[in-house]
Amino acid sequence: FGYFRNAAEALKICHQNGMIHRDVKPSNILNMRVLNRVKLIDFERAKITRPDMGLVLDVSKGYRGMHGTIPFMSPEQFDAPQECDETSDVYSLALSLYQVMVHRHPQLPEYEREILSNVPDTTFADKVKNNDAVSISDIEPRVRNKKFADGLLKFLVRDKDARVDATPTHFI
């Protein structure tokens, strides 16, 4: 879990500096084992807001009007990408951990990660926006830590305002 703990810390630094990544996923978390650190990469969809400097910079037009990679997007990224904030990034980080652990999507557990690309974008969006996440312990019985499994679900709540303590430091 150190890998995701370090990713959460990197995300915290981004958020403290007014940056929303909007494309957090496993392939954008670079594990530099030799240096014992993690780096977030691929900021081409990021949004930077610095009210203290009068700066709002949205570096991406998005793909089909969406910001992010569909299997790792938060529900609000489908309908209201302008409402993406820190909680959206944390949702995507929790989703990344979930998928790395069990190779399934919490709202589409019937599909293995390798075949998620076969799910049409509209079906994917509908499932993510309308289905609650399935507990990781329900999919993978070897995950016996119920507290961890329940905690992870708190970051995968569909309503971004209901995500409990959705800050990276509370993540792990």
- Report DSSP state, residue 132: P
Q: Are 115 and 144 in contact (CB under 8 A)?
A: no
CB atoms near residue 82 (< 10 Å)? 10
Active site positions, annotated: 23
> Angle of helix 86-102 relative to helix 2-16, nearest 10 degrees?
170
Q: pLDDT: is 155 or 66 the higher one?
A: 155
Read off the pLDDT band of 17 (50, 70, 90): very high
Question: Is the model's pLDDT at 134 over the cut of 60?
Answer: yes
Mean pLDDT in residue range 93-120 = 78
Q: What confidence score (pLDDT) does residue 3 get? A: 77
Instruction: Determine the Cα–Cα distance for residues 146 and 83; give it in Å rounded to an integer.
Output: 32
pTM, full prediction: 0.86
Backbone angles phi, psi at 106, to 5 degrees: -65, -25
Interacting residues of 118 by C-beta distance below 8 A, sequence separation 6+:
111
pLDDT tens figures, 22-38: 999 999 998 877 777 88
Query: Would you list the DSSP string of 53-109?
Result: GTEEEE----BTTB-S-GGG--HHHHH-GGG--HHHHHHHHHHHHHHHHHSEETTEE
Mean pLDDT in residue range 138-161 = 84
Q: pLDDT: is 39 or 120 the higher one?
A: 39
Read off the pLDDT band of 148 (50, 70, 90): confident
Question: Is the model's pLDDT at 1 over the cut of 90?
Answer: no
CA separation (Å) from 102 to 9, 136, 141? Answer: 23, 7, 10
Question: Is the model's pLDDT at 166 over the cut of 80?
Answer: no
Give the containing element (helix H, strand E) for 130.
helix 121-130
